[in-house]
Amino acid sequence: MQGNLETAFDAIYLTCVTVLGILMLRNHRGRRQYLLSGIMAVTLGAGDAFHLVPRAYALLTDGLANHAAALGIGKFITSITMTLFYLLLYHVWRARYHVQGRYRETIALYALAALRIGLCLFPQNAWTSAAPPLNWGIYRNIPFAGMGVMVILLFYYSARAHNDRPFRHMWLTIVLSFAFYIPVVLFGDSVPLVGILMIPKTMAYVWTVLICYLAMRKDNKEIQP
């Protein structure tokens, strides 16, 4: 039952974010923010597929324990693509609000991203192990959380300053995604039930992508002859 329900949910999620991303890539009409949003959404879907597809296969066959290596490699790839997701989201912010300069934010975000990816590359993460160390899961997520905090604050203050209704909840989607993700990092192995928080975390990411898509569709309607 769990395998069927989780697989169906993941299939819907991957389809939604990928399709929305492709639609933005096809209909951005030369606007950089929507081109970046499309790339961001497709990156999210493709990256998560490396983890969710092996997980679905394991759940539907002989169990997660027998596929630790494939699941670990998928989690590693997802960790990298999620870092790229936030870099792209940062550039969506710059494009939407026509930000010029402010290179300190750019340097800080890229430094955190480089640190995050660098930490993911350490063999101490033991990605293919059935019981990877918790401390390295925490280490690599510290700069990732720093990226999240930066992007949250940038969208929060910019949306308020520009009275940007389509993006007024963008900051909240990121807050929710981290609020549901952090307990899984800390307690997912010791309390398996905590893993259910990945469902609302995933829905928060769909909301992020949907905000970008709906804003594009609204803008496209307004510029139609």
* Other CB atoms within 10 Å distance of the CB of residue 26: 9
| Structural domain span for residue 107 | 2-222
Q: What is the pLDDT of residue 221?
A: 85
pLDDT band at 225 (very low <50, low <70, confident <90, very high): low
Query: Which residue bears the tokens 């496209």?
Result: 220
- Does the structure show a pLDDT above 70 at 111? yes
Provide the pLDDT for residue 224. Answer: 64
pLDDT at residue 161 above 90?
A: yes
Number of domain units in the chain: 1
Question: Residue 110 and residue 60: Cα distance in Å, rounded?
Answer: 39
Contact in structure between 80 and 114 (CB atoms under 8 Å)? no
- Name the more confident of 212 and 5: 212
- The per-residue pLDDT for range 1-30, each reduced to its tens digit, is 666 788 899 999 999 999 999 999 999 999
Rounded to an integer, the average pLDDT of 167-195 is 90
Does the structure show a pLDDT above 60 at 75? yes
Of residues 132 and 153, the one with the higher pLDDT is 153
CATH number for the domain harbouring residue 102: 1.20.1070.10
